[in-house]
Amino acid sequence: MRKGRPGWRESGIIEELRLEDAVRNPQRCFELWDLLLYDKVISELNIRLLLDTAVFAAEMNGSVIGSVLARCDTSEHMYRIRAIIYCDCTGDSRLALEAGAEMRYGRESRAEFGESLAPEVPDEQTMGSSILFTSREHDRPMPFRPPAWARKVTAEHLQFRSTNAWEYGYWWIEWGGEQSTIHDNERIRFELLSIVMGVWDYIKNSGNHPASTNWALDWVGMLPGKREARRLIGDYTLRQQDLLSGEFSDAVAIGGWPMDDHPPGGFDRPDLPPANQIRIPRVYDIPLRCLYSRNVSNLMMAGRNISATHVAFSSTRVMATSPIS
């Protein structure tokens, strides 16, 4: 939530995790952050953790989810899970899809919700996905030879993108918003990896960053970090106006990140800034009515699939803001 606003910071569980990570992981290793989250979950007696397990079906009793089927291919186990309330935190709304929940995808028209930041014509384009990398400095020169499938990146591709810091990669290595971020995920992964290799090749071999001589890649992500896919429809749809002045009697969470929209073309649109960020005047409410399905009576949602327009989602989507923590 900070984003250039001194004193603005998420609290609650996410703050507790960050403070503990600062003590246990001062080197800021991604994998150790994962281990911290794993430790917290398995240490909670009221949680049963099923790793590498995916929902693939929902058994319905009218508009009510009776049970959910999930499968773990690595252990060849299948689970039937019964509950009173289910929460879809999959991001892609997979449980909601199986349950027949009402959803939306893409960008609404400006007229539908009266949002000045929305496009005039609705479409099914989204923000793209990203793959990050880490690198570190060594005590000797570290040459880099890109694979044959790496993109050839030039200074023209980077006119709105800085490559002056190399430690933690770049969120603007983004692609796939003009594709389906769900069904085209494998294609998106390939394109993102080719861009990562091309950008690192530019840093190492263009001659424009001589200080990178001793730097080498330390880790490259293999799973695209997805920004946007399906969003469920609740009893209320959060919109641009609510982020600017909305207050709700049933507020259960708050947000404070800017409206942070990215062009669907991502890295393929070097002529555009990689993000359009519009600061909000203060923190805003997220109501309970945005966190449950309007047509599946025992389905809730948390994360980037809550009930919001694309414009409002551009703020609520970020991990520490999404009402999941």
Are 308 and 316 in contact, with CB atoms under 8 Å apart?
yes
Q: What pLDDT sits at residue 196? A: 98
Q: What pLDDT sits at residue 259? A: 96
Which DSSP helix (H) or strand (E) runs through 285?
strand 284-287
Q: What pLDDT sits at residue 315? A: 95
One digit per residue, the tens of pLDDT, for the chain of length 325 reads: 555 677 778 888 889 999 999 999 998 887 898 899 999 999 999 999 999 999 999 999 999 999 999 999 999 999 999 999 999 999 999 999 999 999 999 999 999 999 999 999 999 999 999 999 999 999 999 999 999 999 999 999 999 999 999 998 999 999 999 999 999 999 999 999 999 999 999 999 999 999 999 999 999 999 999 999 999 999 999 999 999 987 899 999 989 999 999 999 999 999 999 999 999 999 999 999 999 999 999 999 999 999 999 999 999 999 877 554 4
What are the tokens at 186?
């494998």
CA 193 to CA 157: how far, in whole Å?
16
Q: What pLDDT sits at residue 77? A: 97
**What is the DSSP secondary-structure string of 121-146?**
S-BS----EE--EEEEE-SS------
For residue 317, count other CB atoms closer than 10 A to its CB.
Answer: 25
Q: What pLDDT sits at residue 322? A: 59
Are 54 and 71 in contact, with CB atoms under 8 Å apart?
yes
Q: β-pairing, 299-301 with 86-88? A: parallel
Q: What's the distance, CA 256 to chain centroid?
A: 16
Dihedral of alpha carbons 88, 92, 95, 99, sign: positive
Which DSSP helix (H) or strand (E) runs through 77?
strand 77-81
3-state helix, strand, coil in the chain (%, to 5): 25, 20, 50
Q: What pLDDT sits at residue 325? A: 40
**Angstrom distances, CA of residue 54 to CA of 93, 103, 209, 225:** 12, 20, 44, 18
